[in-house]
A and B are shown apart, each in its own frame.
Chain A
Amino acid sequence: MSRKSITFRRILKTGLLNFLRNFSIATAAIATMVVTLTILLLSLIINATFNNTIVQITNKVDVSVYLKDSVDQTQTSKLIQEIKNIPDVSKVNYLNKDQVLKQYLLDNSSDKLLSTAITETSNPLPATIHIKPKTLDKISQINNFLARPDIKELQFSAPQSNQNLQNAINNITHATDVLRTLGIIAMIVFAIISILIIFNTIQMAIFNRRNEIQIMRLLGANKSFIRGPFIVETSIYGLIAGLISIGLVDFIFITSNSTLQATSLGLLDINFAGKYFRADIFKFLLLQVGVGVFVGAISAFIATRRFLKFKIK
């Protein structure tokens, strides 16, 4: 075995042994890391859930264009193409008269009288184009296009874009923008706080053992041989804390799904949150363990630095 590999194995072994022998400090450090990593994970999930709610709201808003019966196939195709060319349109859905009727009957299947009445005359419903904007604030641009005189001529009536709800839409747009920004800021803040707390905890754990570092230096150990076991040890903290935080969040979703749904007052779609978490649980596991190990290792690296300076006065 080469000398390097012997040293490497010794560093791993010492790190593991130190972890086991400093169990009380390890437990305290891991507990702190679990709390911070869990908060970080929850802020991630909450942010995604908020975004989902926003998407849901956005999806409910569309512009419906009702075409005159006189508009022929060529004109319709041309119009659809033009609408699709508007940069802020995400989806265009065309329903001809028959399809609109079918949909109408489906939507009102409980009302027998209405169904009968409408089928007894010739189909009074206009062919319709549903336009979904990419974002809520882009609706006015679609409306501007539809208000062009040559386009307006093809329409049965003014387009229905919940126009009277424009103010409401504007408010929602504004609110969702603020929420999105807040979510991202909150996540960044949580991430920074988590890293600082973990760093501080590890720094304190290592500060407690600065004498050991001093002794090793006096015995002539080089930096990597002193630092290595500390990095191994704190990486183990990160690994365990990451695993526990994932387990903890999973446990929360299993045991308190309904309680959470009730207490979140419908502001958060807890079912979505649970599904979102489960669908990517391995990705989250990797993330948590990765953040834990990385922050742990870097913290140990930095915290040992000040005790390892060979600056002689």
Chain B
Amino acid sequence: MILLDRVSKKYPKSSEPALDKISLHVEPKEFVIIVGQSGAGKTTLLRLLTREEKPTNGKIIVGGIDYDKLKDKKIPMLRRKIGVVFQDFKLLPNKNVFENVAFALEIVGASNEEIKKTVPKVLAIVNLSGKEKNMPSQLSGGERQRVAIARALVRQPKILIADEPTGNLDPKHAWDVIDVLEKVNRFGTTVLLTTHNAEIVNKLKRRVITLRDGKVVSDEARATYKV
């Protein structure tokens, strides 16, 4: 599902590479946690996957798309296939909950009927039924993050990338979000989660990839948190 082959990323102004010859392979329906201290390269890795950045070297293939052959014009198409959840939610402030989720479908030209049918279902999955008309500013952090997850899920992506989705949340809301991610994974979506939270990593007992200074220092199944 996700294949990285000796991928490096070096920013022009820094002496050390942010990612140094990383190779990894994620199978479909896997739940993978990426851990590492700040600056270890977690976010860079995810930004490479969403094509916000290009690698300096190496090959990336996601869902059968070879990024070397991907034209800039086709990037929107790629992003429509990947669901992304951000630490800072990135909700559209002028749209209410329903519209924020519906927006992901509007982009791909879904019909109004389809939107009216699908969005409430997804909002039910993230336990936000009844909040459709609320604006993002009227929601708690946990609720906002669940809206963001609903938005990422509504197009039924094969891959869900969550970049520290619990980073801004208190423990209770953090677990709500993790529960939703597990639920999604059970439905068959590949989940890529980065986190700082040792408790979450230890409890989930999933494959954990540890990054340090831009390198993979460990990659273990059913692992625990060690940075």
Q: Which A residues lie at the B interface, using CB under 8 A?
A: 1, 3, 6-7, 10, 17-18, 21-22, 211-212, 214-222, 225, 310-313
Contact = CB atoms under 8 A, between A and B. Distances in A.
Given A310-B73, A312-B52, A312-B75, A219 B104 contact: yes
B51 A312 contact: yes
A216 B95 CA distance: 12
Nearest 10 A/B pairs, CB to CB: A220-B79, A220-B80, A3-B109, A220-B76, A221-B107, A215-B90, A310-B72, A21-B94, A222-B76, A312-B54
Contacts of A22: 94
Contact of B109 (A7, A217, A218): A7
B66 interface: no
B146 interface: no
Interface of B: 50-54, 72-73, 75-80, 84, 86, 90-94, 103-104, 106-109, 111-112, 151
Of A212, A219, A222, A312, most B-chain CB atoms within 10 Å:
A219
Contact of B103 (A1, A6, A219, A311): A219
A121 B75 CA distance: 101
Q: Chain A: interface secondary structure?
A: helix
A230 to B, nearest CB: 12
Nearest to B11: A313
Given A212-B94, A218-B90, A219-B79, A313 B53 contact: yes
Contact of B106 (A10, A21, A214, A312): A10
Contacts, number: 65
Nearest to A22: B94
Contact of B92 (A3, A212, A220, A313): A212
B50 A218 contact: yes
Given A21-B94, A219-B151, A312-B72, A6 B77 contact: no
Contact of B52 (A7, A211, A218): A218
A51 to B, nearest CB: 47
A225 B109 CA distance: 10
B109 A216 contact: no
A222 B112 CA distance: 19
19 contacts: A1-B111, A6-B111, A7-B106, A17-B94, A216-B92, A217-B76, A218-B50, A218-B52, A218-B79, A218-B84, A218-B90, A219-B103, A220-B76, A220-B79, A221-B76, A221-B107, A225-B106, A312-B75, A313-B53
Of B54, B93, B94, most A-chain CB atoms within 10 Å:
B94
Contacts of B76: 217, 220-222
Contacts of A311: 72
A254 B111 CA distance: 52
A223 B52 CA distance: 16
B83 to A, nearest CB: 9
Nearest to A215: B90
Nearest to B70: A312
